[in-house]
Structure 1
Amino acid sequence: MRAERGMSSISVIFVVALFGFMLIGAFRVIPVYSEYAEVKNAVAEIARDPSRAESEVRREFRNRAVVADISSVKDTDLFIVSGGNFLTVRAKYRREVPLVANVKLAFDFDTQAGKGPAAQ
């Protein structure tokens, strides 16, 4: 007599539930990293022109944030260090994403671009 092989119905349910949980997590995480990529690009582009004043940098970031749908970082959240021929722009922020009920995922992001001393 041969033993039956394969997965039991309980193990199939467990695998499907695990896959569903992972899929829900991916749907929550992908937009967070997509927004971070947009923030990183915006900061890098803005920091390329060291002749800009702080108010111009903030205005430019505000404009880019509207176009790129950046909602986690405001222009007032930027750390800007500028001098004679350098400009450093830094965006450091935390994003919390609700997962299930009262469970949240927390992401800490920190990106900096430009030449000159580090922005604190």
Structure 2
Amino acid sequence: MRMQRERGISLIGLIFVLAILGGIGLLAMQVVPTYIEYRAILGAIERAKKDGGENIKEIQDSFNKSAEVGYITAIQGRDLLIVRENGQFEISFEYEKKIPLAGPASLLMEYKGTTAKEGAKKKVAE
């Protein structure tokens, strides 16, 4: 009688796979909220452009109101780059979010966005 070889995953293999999935899950739990906030900022600058008004201060105030309602803490109205192009305002932003992982290791997320159709404009040195 021949012995059949058992197939499947061993206990150590299962623990290893669960550890990898747990690490990915923990990382996702830290990255996903920053992405959700980024999407909220994109929506807030679109609303600020639409509802903002005739000057930069009104646009910043409109963004700050949306930020307060949308729990946006990464940037404020004063952090926005607002320029007038072709008779209308275009709003841009850029920020970094640093997520600590373990010890000295961290993950740096760089976010930027704009209301301009042709993409983000380069900042002019002040």
Is 1:23 matched with 2:41? no
Give % identity: 28
Is 1:97 matched with 2:110? no
Equivalent residue, structure 2, for 1:2? 4
Contact 2:51-2:62 at 8 Å conserved across structures: no
Q: Distance in 2 between matches of 1:86 and 1:119?
A: 18
Per-residue displacement from partner, 1:25-55 (whole Å, max 9, x unpaired)? 1101110110000000011111225742111
Structure 2: 5+ residue stretches without partners: none
Residues 1-120 of structure 1 correspond to what in structure 2 (within 5 A)?
Answer: 1-48=3-50, 51-82=53-84, 85-114=87-116, 118=121, 120=123
Task: Kindly state the Cα deviation for residue 99 of structure 1 after the two structures are TM-superposed.
Answer: 2.4
Distance 1:115 1:56, change over 3 A: farther
Structure 1: 5+ residue stretches without partners: none
- Structure 1 counterpart of 2:64, which letter? R
SS of the residue corresponding to residue 73 of structure 1 reads coil
- Structure 1 counterpart of 2:89, which letter? L
1 or 2 for the larger relative contact order (CA 8 Å, sep ≥6)?
A: 1
Contact 2:98-2:108 at 8 Å conserved across structures: yes
- Structure 1 counterpart of 2:93, which letter? A
Query: What TM-score do the two structures reach when normalised by structure 1?
Result: 0.88
CA-based RMSD of the aligned residues comes to 2.3
Contact 2:94-2:112 at 8 Å conserved across structures: yes
Q: Distance in 2 between matches of 1:49 and 1:26?
A: 34
Q: How many residues align?
A: 120
